[in-house]
Amino acid sequence: MPTPAQLEAQVDATAALIGLPLAAAHRPGVLHYFAIAAAMAELVLAQPLTPDDEPAALFVPVEPPRS
Amino acid sequence: MSRAAELLRGPGHLLSAAVRAHELSVTDVVHAAAERIAATDGRVNAFTQLTLQRAFGEAAALDARLAVGDTTAAALPLLGVPYAVKNLFDIEGVTTVAGSKIERGRPAAQRDAVLVQRLRAAGAVLLGALNMDEYAYGFTTENTHDGACHNPHDLARVAGGSSGGSAAAVAAGQVAMTLGSDTNGSIRVPSSLCGVFGLKPTFGRLPRRGSFPFVANLDHLGPFARSARDLALAYDAMQGADAADPACVARPFEPTVARLGEVHGLRVGVLGGWFHDMALPEARAAVNAVAAALGATRTIEWPGVERARAAAFLITQAESSALHLANLKIRPDDFEPLSRDRFLAGALLPAVWVSQAQRVRRWFARQVAAGFADVDLLIAPATPCAAPPIGTGWLDIGGLRLPARPSLGLLAQPVSCIGLPVCTVPVWGAHPALPIGVQLIAAPWREDRVLAAAAALEAGGIVRAPVAALD
């Protein structure tokens, strides 16, 4: 599990990268929820997967409108 | 009490039968529903918008057809059934706000959502739009912009969410039927807490065109009602593909009404592990009552449930935050304070977390599908507990102290993660004063089985959805 400092660094760096301002009043909540997401990611990353385990989200081709 | 008001407290199909028998008009039904809403909604706060002019117009049109002996009108499956929709469904002439402040500036919808069109064609009459958690992100409908929706069975408690208004309006007897959406539990959680029936169909079954999205990869739409038959009638009327919704699968029409109550030979199991450990005594008692009635003989454990829930959590955060990123950048203070910081955090997730979550989701779906080879129906609690008081911050579940709002969905989330059809049925007596719901779960595309079992339980008096007194 990443340390609180690592999580904080990720939050600040990514927010700056994508141009998402984090107000001082919002930042503690953001850190709280980012830490929860990190804990969820630990669970997800612990699952052994094979190449057959394709992502569940698959693209559906879009046909042109029929005239 | 008028005949229409009396019938409004029962299921919608009996209202339809009375209209067909010329005992009352559809206009009488709309009057009764409008009066019930006026008498109760100051306390419940289920509605955010009434469409009475439209409702009386639809009623008059149906009454005129019936008056001239139009047999097609008389045969409509939802003839005269009053309903309302979560305010993320497009209603022609009404701005679709999706529980938000931000969307209030948008123009009114130019046409109805596909499912609203289909209900109208089936003879149902639209009374209005319903309260919800902002952008469907929540399980309590403590909406800061519109005010909290109150549980009709105990006004000090939450109605559940995010389709809280949809469940509360049915429990309060304001309408017979409603529509809501379920991404991680937003039909099943409020159904459970308000003591009504709710159907979350298979992912991809019902088209979502004309509804405000939350997480396109997980969003489902479905009905709420006070009887399994009403759910089946509404569901059958709404089936049908729509090429404009890329997730909607072109399945044939697979009717459910004719098979209601047919449970002979169904192999039934109870979900254990996570679904037992994360449930409080009232939830376990409700499951036991349903399991005994359906003759469940074994307990089944799905592998990796907690990981599946985590996958749904990450996909939800990432996709929904991307959807709202532009507004999160320029007007974060206009978001619901209870979910704003979750949206902000979701925009910052490393891509590999989300990509792996989509792979875990597929892995889990395959494990569960294999398990359905020797069982037809699974039983699990819909929520860990009955409705908590409004404002509850924390819940003690499974020996852990957990944040209440996201945790109300922790038994629903792993199931919607893989899109299985679920009917939530209301059990009374498991908690001293409140209802609590049980999920009836089947393999993909077997809505017929969950509705058949719900109807059998209802016929046996095991589950029921009485209207809250509110007098």
Where do the structural domains in chain A lie, given as residue ranges?
4-45
Please give the order of strands across the beta sheet that includes B177-182.
B47-50, B125-130, B82-86, B177-182, B220-225, B197-200, B422-427, B436-441, B377-381, B268-271, B298-300
Residue B200 annotated in active site: no
Residue B329 annotated in active site: no
* Structure-token match 């994508």, residue found: A18
Question: Distance between CA atoms of B419 and B358, rounded to whole angstroms?
Answer: 13
**CATH code of the domain occupying B11-459:** 3.90.1300.10
Question: Distance between CA atoms of B189 and B186, rounded to whole angstroms?
Answer: 6
Residue B276 tokens read as: 């037992």
CA B237 to chain centre: 16
Question: Distance between CA atoms of B241 and B20, rounded to whole angstroms?
Answer: 30
Closest chain A C-alpha to B80 CA, distance in angstroms: 37
Question: Distance between CA atoms of B190 and B170, rounded to whole angstroms?
Answer: 11
Digits of tens for pLDDT over chain B (471 positions)?
A: 899 999 999 999 999 999 999 999 999 999 999 999 999 999 999 999 999 999 999 999 999 999 999 999 999 999 999 999 999 999 999 999 999 999 999 999 999 999 999 999 999 999 999 999 999 999 999 999 999 999 999 999 999 999 999 999 999 999 999 999 999 999 999 999 999 999 999 999 999 999 999 999 999 999 999 999 999 999 999 999 998 899 999 999 999 999 999 999 999 999 999 999 999 999 999 999 999 999 998 999 999 999 999 999 999 999 999 999 999 999 999 999 999 999 999 999 999 999 999 999 999 999 999 999 999 999 999 999 999 999 999 999 988 999 999 999 999 999 999 999 999 999 999 999 999 999 999 999 999 999 999 999 999 999 999 999 997
* Subunit contact B362:A45, Cβ cutoff 8 A: no
Whether residue B160 contacts residue B139, with contact meaning beta carbons closer than 8 Å, is answered with yes
Residue B339 annotated in active site: no
Whether residue B436 contacts residue B386, with contact meaning beta carbons closer than 8 Å, is answered with yes
**Crossing angle (nearest 10°) for helices B228-238 and B12-20:** 80
Between vectors from CA B406 to CA B405 and to CA B410, what angle results, nearest 5°?
125
Report yes or no on whether pTM surpasses 0.90: yes
Question: Distance between CA atoms of B407 and B316, rounded to whole angstroms?
Answer: 15
* Subunit contact B348:A30, Cβ cutoff 8 A: yes
Nearest chain A Cα to B308, which residue?
A44
CA neighbours within 13 Å on the CB side: how many for B73? 20
* Subunit contact A20:B348, Cβ cutoff 8 A: yes
Between vectors from CA B116 to CA B424 and to CA B381, what angle results, nearest 5°?
10
ipTM computed for the complex: 0.97
Which chain A residues touch B328 with a CB distance below 8 Å? 20
Q: Which residues pair with B377 in a beta bridge?
A: B268
